[in-house]
Structure 1
Amino acid sequence: MHRKDIFWSHIKEHRLAYVMGFALLSISSVLQLLIPWLLGRFTDSLQVGGLTYDQAVRYAVWMIAVGAGIAFFRSTSRIYLFRLSRQLEMRVRGDLFVHWEKLSSQYFNNQRIGDLMSHAISDVGVIREVTMQGYFNVMEAVFLIVVSVIAMVSSVNPWLTLVTMLPLPLLSIIAYRFNKRIMQQSTDMQAAISDLTSRVQEFTAGIRVVKAFIQEKPERELFTKDNQRAVDMNRRFVKSNSLFGALSSGIVGFSFLVSVVMGGIMVLQNIITLGEFVAFNTYLSLLMGPIENLGKVVNQLQRGKASEQRLLEIFNTQPDIVDDEMASPDIQDLEGGIEIRNLSFSYPEATRPSLHNISLKVPKGSSLAIVGRVGSGKSTLVHLLVRLYNPPKGSVFIDGHDIHEIPLRTLRGQIGIVPQDQFLFSSTIRDNIGFDPKPYSDEQVEEAAKVAQVYDNIVEFPNQFDTALGERGISLSGGQRQRVSIARAIIKKPAVLIFDDSLSAVDTITEDRILEGLKSVMNKRTTIIIGHRISSVQHADQIVVMDEGRIVERGNHDQLLALNGIYADMHHKQLLDQEAERQDGHEKGSIPSRLLQGGAGA
């Protein structure tokens, strides 16, 4: 659904609330206009010498009463309208997060984290400021200007009002001239903030690499450059904003000067009374603040328009991975039989296909292993199985259903995947293992940890399963992160289990224990294992070897060794590496080097 605006849709939805806020503000503005009238009457009474003590007290009481009324209705209207702006802020930020959840991983591949953070915080904050201060100032200024001018014309002198107001239309001309400049500078300022946020996020995420390569000084220089650019963009915006404000104040001040000179002459000529002169200038002083605020509102509206356009660009980005029209809500469970027919696939930004004419059949409950060089298309294949990218229709089937017929919730709920990057959330170990809409008991979490061979490590922590992890699980070793990811996948008891090179960070002994523990989980469950170690895949029912997006060999372990091809070559090289490790271990004290390395993976 195409979204056309953010501001007006919110105002339309809450129009009655805005009308009530405007009504309260109008009462406050009307009460403000009583102040000049009371001052005028007081001055005239004082000038003719007819002011008594009781009248003076009465005027004072009226002033206090009017002031209290202004304070009450003005503060109430601000609370009323400002609450609406906070509701809009919460709503837009919530809608933005929900929309991001709908977008595919391809969208995030092309976005910087700093830009996304800037949209969610800075741009949404600008939207709030516009609806909070901008609309409030516009309402107050428009009402005060209209009512004050009517009062000045009717109760003082129309010609004096006309001459005094003549310079004010220049504000519209100045606002028009500054319009595009302020909007462009606001866009540049937000972009500079995004760059600075991205720089900080990248630095903090890669702090270990920065320190390991002694790159503190270059990183500091890059940060200083982005920081200075953000300051420069902000200075340009402030400069334009200040110039606009100064010109607006100058025009208002000139109107005040005209009022004093012309009004003084008219008092001397007895055209108006001294009280009317005082009232007129008090009316004008009431207008100075709102008129100057209109200048600020112009800037706020331009910033708001720029932020709104950036947010609308996100909202109008349509997710490319959604439930297909042919998706059947009746498909609630999967058994795990997979068939791939003549599958070819290219990434949107790629110049050549990543997969060429792939055909596979994996019966339910069986295991498939995929091996091959880096970049051969192994991970791409499993990404298509969970529709992180869309495969062509008629190419991927599960339980005889085209994958496009299966609702995404069912498909991803019935497939457990252990990805390469082992991403963990900044929460407890328990929350990371039980990361699923369905709640799990402590016993289920512990059992999954035992199968993944990470239970013994977890119970050594002071808080055990309630241990809080750092960002991306950085407080765990690489092997521990992988095993927690494995536990997170197997606790779901899905119909299909996918291990995407998920044993690379553990030593071979731990790998053997994990594979042994997984036997009970993999029993009667379709399993796909992507790996580089032959030891990880050799017991699979079916093994395929991929190279440059094609299946070049297939069979079981013994059949592939007999082919004496790529698989056999990988097997022989790994045997030689293991023999070299054993020889090296004997030379260092008869301790196998893989055991020496086991601590890192454990």
Structure 2
Amino acid sequence: MERTTIFWNHIKNYRWSYLIGFALLSISSLLQLLIPVLLGQFTDKLQSSLLNVQETIQFAVWMVVIGLGIAFFRSTSRIYLFRLSRMLETRVRGDLFKHWEKLSAQYFNNQRIGDLMSHAISDVGVIREVTMQGYFNIMEAILLIAVSVVAMVTTVNPWLTLVTMLPLPLLSILAYRFNGRIQKQSADMQSAISDLTSRVQEFTAGIRVVKAYVQEKEEQKLFEKDNEHAVKMNRIFVRTNSLFGSLSTGIVGFSFLVSVVMGGVMVLNHVITLGQFVAFNTYLSLLMGPIENLGKVVNLMQRGKASEVRIMEIFNTQPQVIDDMVANQDIQHIEGEIEFRDLTFAYPEEEDRPMLKNISLKVPKGSSLAIVGRVGSGKSTLTNLLVRLHNPPVGTLFIDGHDIHEIPLTTLRGQIGIVPQDQFLFSSTIRDNIGFDPNPYTDEQVVEASKVAQVYENIVEFPDQFETTLGERGVSLSGGQRQRVSIARAIIKKPSILIFDDSLSAVDTITEDLILEGLKSVMNKRTTIIIGHRISSVQGADQIVVMDEGKIIERGTHEQLLRRNGLYADLHHKQQLDQEAERQDGQDMERLQAAVLQEGASL
């Protein structure tokens, strides 16, 4: 849908439905105007002693019939119009989620989860209220005020009507004066709610860290601060809203006072009859509710405007990574040949600090590439460009001879299996996490993938095995188990290109060897990129590149790089020393335990 304005687009798209709802509401409003007429006639006949039992019953029957008619048409119109508001809520929330899915990963790096949740729940809820209560009250007020004023002028007295209505334009001035204040305070209140939501989300996600560092009191203080701020913003908003409502009610009450005093004088002077006086005040009573609701509507409209602005900011944010105009939709499969041609890349917010510099590298189809280097050397950035989480410069990255911008995103990402550093698992079953793909997988395929990833034995130990429901982000699994489930998720799709981004760091060396052995059949004739810190996990690759400060400083096989005595050889030597130290510590511990047991036996 067009992003000019949510409310206007909704009315334009459902104009005929709103016209039908307006017609139903009009019938209800017109029926309400019959009540003052009947009360006026009843009062005049009662005053003249011309009323008999039969006519009294007739008046009662007519009142009941009209009341039922009002109830039917008013309820029907409310149901009809409220249904449209629920449709808008569903559509906006759905469009919002779809738009989030299109946005680049970089967008979410700069957003708080609490803010996003507030947009999807609180802001969309306010928009629903505007189209539900706001539109209904506006329609009803316009109808009743317009028709009632005409009836009061034509059937009672134009001067009484004019004097009684004179204070009511003050409501427009009042609404104008409160307009900006209510809108700003509404935005501040929504922002405070977002802060509070973010605080709760962050606390629950990091509860184990909080407890491990005994930070419960500090977290409580931070929560209380955000909570008090939210209450303060809400209190300010409620205070302004209450003042506006009180002044609006006072103006309406003053109009009612004028009608009673002036109307009473007119009755005493025989300008109008007692029945007309009753009818006039009944008309005015009918107007009190809609006129008072106008104040609430103004408040609601300002809240709606603030929420609309926040949501429109999201809709107006364009994704940075999309299928380019040069994308060839005929490319439905990739073989796996990768080539970097003098690639230099910097993140948008750090354009003066390239993360990758002059990368030239070719990975033949079906071969394996290992990337090692210090933290922050650009290893993960290189693989993120392969799945276009960020856009590489045109003419610098090719797959199967095609510029990566020519390959449709669905094809590219559908045929690359990646195990990222952050092993994110969903709060669903283990089976659903392994089979996380648009294509359905059989139980046999899920089991086979788990065996290759060396996590099958762990899974079958759970009471529900593959139907075990994981906690938030897979917290019920250990770090190593999460990594292996992520590996199973990547290899089950049988991609043309496999990327392992430091995905064996949380497993021991024995499990690492088993996983690498199991992956040999998967990596066969499949292009594989392995990023790792352990030399043991990368030494079997067809080619190894060493990165430092965004550049490739060494390349070759394991044996070639050892002979060069460069950074790779230095890392290998240090890891060998660490392994030797671990073995020595283990042997010392065994000797100490043996000595303790021997000493205990001698005693």
TM-score (norm 1): 0.98
Contact 1:88 1:128 in 2 (8 A): yes
- 2:78 maps to 78
Stretch deviating more after TM superposition (537-546 or 345-354): 345-354
Write the distance in 1 (CA, Å) between the matches of 2:398 and 2:592: 49
**For residues 83 and 240 of structure 1, what CA distance do their matches in structure 2 show?**
31
Query: Does structure 2 conserve the Cα–Cα contact (< 8 Å) formed by 1:545 and 1:554?
Result: yes
Residue identity in the other structure for 1:495: S
Aligned-partner Cα distance in 2 for 1:166–1:401: 75
- Please name the residue that 1:574 is paired with: 575
Does structure 1 residue 309 correspond to structure 2 residue 314?
Answer: no
Q: Deviation digits for residues 332-384 of structure 1, max 9, x if unmatched?
A: 00100000000000011124110000000000000000000000000000000
1:554 aligns to 2:560 (yes or no)? no
- Are 2:434 and 1:430 equivalent residues in the alignment? no
Deviation at 1:271, TM superposition (A): 0.4
- For 2:569 and 2:2, the matched residues in 1 are separated by 55
* Structure 1 residue aligned with 2:18: 18
Partner residue in 1 for 2:600: none
1:496 match: 497
Aligned twin of 1:361: 362
In the TM superposition, residue 224 of structure 1 has moved relative to its aligned partner by 0.3
Q: Which residue of 2 aligns with 1:441?
A: 442
Counterpart in the other structure of 1:241: 241
Do structure 1's residue 341 and structure 2's residue 341 form an aligned pair? yes
**1:560–1:567 contact (8 Å) kept in structure 2:** yes
Q: Which amino acid aligns with 1:26?
A: S
2-structure distance, mates of 1:168, 1:591: 94
How far has the Cα of 1:2 moved from its partner? 6.3
Partner of 2:111: 111
> Secondary structure at the residue paired with 2:33?
helix
**Which whole-Å CA distance do the structure 1 matches of 2:284 and 2:500 have between them?**
75
Work out whether residues 336 and 364 of structure 1, in 8 Å CA contact, stay in contact via their aligned partners in 2.
Answer: yes
Note if contact 1:343-1:355 (Cα within 8 Å) is conserved in structure 2: yes
Post-superposition Cα deviations, 1:82-125, rounded to whole Å, max 9, x if no partner, equal: 01100100000000000000000000000000000000000000
Partner of 1:402: 403
Rounded to whole Å, the distance in 1 between the matches of 2:195 and 2:83 is 31
Task: Give the Å deviation of 1:8.
Answer: 1.1
Counterpart in the other structure of 2:374:
373
Contact 2:500–2:531, Cα closer than 8 Å, also in 1:
yes
Distance in structure 2 (CA, Å) of the matches to 1:278 and 1:375: 83
The amino acid across from 1:445 in the alignment is V
Following TM superposition, the consecutive aligned residue runs of length 4 or more in structure 1 with deviations greater than 3 angstroms are none
Letter in 2 for 1:82: F
Q: Partner amino acid for 1:294? A: L
State the match for 1:170 in structure 2: 170
Please state if 1:35 is matched with 2:26: no
Q: Write the distance in 1 (CA, Å) between the matches of 2:305 and 2:247.
A: 23
In the alignment, is the contact (CA less than 8 A) between 2:141 and 2:290 conserved in 1?
yes
Q: Is the 8 A contact 1:369 1:544 kept in 2?
A: yes
Change (3 A) 1:591 1:341: farther
| Contact kept? 2:541, 2:557, Cα under 8 Å | yes
How many Å apart are 1:591 and its aligned residue? 12
Q: 1:456-515: CA deviations, max 9, x gaps?
A: 000000000000000100000000000000000000100000000000000000000000
CA displacement, residues 509-542 of structure 1 (integer Å, 9 cap, x when unaligned): 0000000000000000000000000000000000
| Structure 2: stretches of 5+ with no match in the other structure | 594-603
Name the structure 2 match of 1:145.
145
Q: Distance in 2 between matches of 1:339 and 1:47?
A: 100
Paired position in structure 1 for 2:262: 262
Contact 2:462 2:468 in 1 (8 A): yes
Distance in 2 (CA, whole Å) between partners of 1:259 and 1:484 is 77
The answer as to whether partners of 1:454 and 1:484 remain within 8 angstroms in 2 is: yes
Q: Secondary structure at the match of 2:349?
A: coil
For 2:195, the aligned partner's letter is: D
Kept after mapping to 2: 8 A contact 1:2/1:316: no
Who is 1:599 aligned against?
A: none
Partner of 1:411: 412
Q: Contact (CA 8 Å) 2:2, 2:9: kept in 1 or not?
A: no
Deviations 1:120-168 (A, max 9, x none): 0000000000000000000000000000000000000000000000000
Contact 1:338 / 1:363 at 8 angstroms: preserved in 2? yes
Q: State the SS of the aligned residue for 1:589.
A: helix
Question: What SS does the aligned partner of 1:349 have?
Answer: helix
- What secondary structure sits across from 1:344 in the alignment? strand
Aligned to 2:388: 387
Per the TM alignment, residue 11 of structure 1 is displaced from its structure 2 partner at its CA by 1.0
Aligned residue number for residue 483 of structure 2 = 482
Query: Equivalent residue for 2:90?
Result: 90
Structure 1 counterpart of 2:479, one-letter code? G
Q: Is the 8 A contact 1:345 1:353 kept in 2?
A: yes
Give 1:590 deviation, angstroms: 7.0
Secondary structure at 2:425 match in 1: coil
Residue 540 (structure 2) pairs with residue 527 (structure 1): no
Residue in 2 that maps onto 1:192: 192
Aligned position for 2:214: 214
Task: Give 2:130's aligned residue.
Answer: 130
Q: Displacement, 1:588?
A: 1.5
Aligned to 2:601: none
Superposition TM-score, scaled by structure 2 size: 0.97
Higher mean C-alpha displacement, 99-108 vs 342-351: 342-351
The answer to whether the 8 Å contact 1:585/1:591 transfers is: no
1:306-347 superposed Cα distances (whole Å, 9 cap, x missing partner): 000100010010111000111000100010000000000001
1:376–1:549 CA contact under 8 A, matched in 2:
yes
Shift of the 481–65 alpha-carbon distance from structure 1 to 2, 3 Å rule, reads same
Q: Count residues in correspondence.
A: 592
Query: Are the aligned partners of 2:137 and 2:297 in contact in 1 as well (CA < 8 Å)?
Result: yes
Alpha-carbon distance, 1:587 to partner: 1.3
